[in-house]
Chain A
Amino acid sequence: MDMKTFLRSQWDRVGAWVAIGVGALLLLLGWLGVSHTVYPAEQLPYIISGGLGGVALIGIGAMLWLSADLRDEWTQLHEIARLLGADAGEEPKASPSSQADAA
C-alpha cells in the first residue's frame, strides 16, 4: 500500500497522531516557557497557549482515534448485514431454535 492510499484510507488515524503530536509539542513548549521565568504574569500565557491548547489538541486526537475504531466497526457490521441480506430489507430469517420454540 503506497503512502497516498494509506493516507486516504486512514486519514483519521493519521490525523489523530498529528493532533496528539502537536498537542504534546505544545505542552512541552508551554512547560519550557513557564520554567524560564519566575513571574506569574509571564507564565500564565504559556499555561493557556501551551497547557490548555495542548490538552485540547490531545483530546481531539483521541477523538479521531476512537472515531476511526467506530467507523471500522460500523463497516464490518455493514458487511455482516450484507451477508445476512439484512440491508436489502429482507425479514430476519427465523432461526432453527426459534422454529423449534414455535412448534
Chain B
Amino acid sequence: MPSERFRRSVPWRLGDLLVLYACAAVGLLIIGIAWFGAASSVDVHSQVRWTDLGVGGVIIVGGGVLAWVLAGRRAVGELRREVTSRIPLPVRETDQVSAAIATPGPGPDGVVSGPGMTHYHRRDCIFVLGKTVKRGTERGFRRQKRAPCPACIGEHGPGVES
C-alpha cells in the first residue's frame, strides 16, 4: 500500500492548520484587546498589565507558528527518508572487493592462479581481477609451491578439498 504521505499534496494535516489558525486568531485578538485596554487607561500600572497581556498574545502567535513549521519539517523529513530509501544504489567495485574480503575461504568455485604467481586466490580476489588465471585445486597449487593468498583465503585458510 502506498504510504499516506504520498497521497497528501502538502506536508500538513488539517489538524495542523486548525492549530495555526486558532493560535493566530487568539493571539492577534489578545494583542488587539491589550491595545484597546491600554489605550483606554491613563494609569501606567494598569497599562503595564495590558502590555503583559499583549506579550502573551505574541507568545501564542509564536507558538502556533512554531508548531506549524515543525509539523511541516517533520513531515518533509519523513517523506525524504522514505523516498531516498527507495533509490537504487549503483554497484561500486569496492563493494565487490569488500564482499570478497568479508567471505573467508576459497568458496565453492575453487581457486585460481596464473603464470608467475606465487599464490593462489579466490576467483573474485582483488589480486587476480582482470588477470589471466587458470582454475585449479588447492592441493595442485600447493604441489607447485604456491601459497594461499593471505588476503582472500588466509595463511592457513580452509581448503577446498578439506
Contacts and interface: CB of A to CB of B under 8 A. Distances in A.
A88 to B, nearest CB: 7
B50 to A, nearest CB: 7
A22 interface: no
A70 B35 CA distance: 34
A63 B31 contact: no
A49 B85 CA distance: 49
A77 B24 contact: no
Interface string A62-80: 1100110011011001101
B115 to A, nearest CB: 30
Band of interface residues on A: 35 or more
Interface in B4-62: 6, 9-11, 24, 27-28, 31, 34-35, 38-39, 41-44, 47-48, 50-51, 54-55, 57-58, 61-62
A15 interface: no
Nearest to B65: A63
A47 B51 contact: yes
A80 B88 CA distance: 12
Given A74-B10, A81-B6, A45 B24 contact: no
B88 A73 contact: no
B155 interface: no
Contact of A77 (B38, B65, B72, B83): B83
Contact of B69 (A41, A53, A63): A63
A66 B69 CA distance: 7
A18 B54 CA distance: 22
A103 to B, nearest CB: 8
Interface string A27-64: 00000000000001100110111001101100110110
B129 interface: no
Contacts of B143: none
25 contacts: A40-B47, A41-B43, A44-B47, A48-B38, A52-B34, A52-B55, A53-B28, A53-B35, A56-B61, A59-B65, A60-B65, A66-B72, A70-B11, A70-B73, A71-B72, A73-B80, A74-B75, A74-B76, A74-B79, A77-B79, A78-B6, A81-B86, A94-B88, A96-B88, A97-B91
Given A59-B62, A73-B80, 14 more contacts: A41-B41, A41-B43, A41-B47, A52-B57, A53-B35, A59-B58, A60-B65, A62-B65, A74-B10, A84-B83, A86-B2, A86-B86, A93-B86, A101-B99
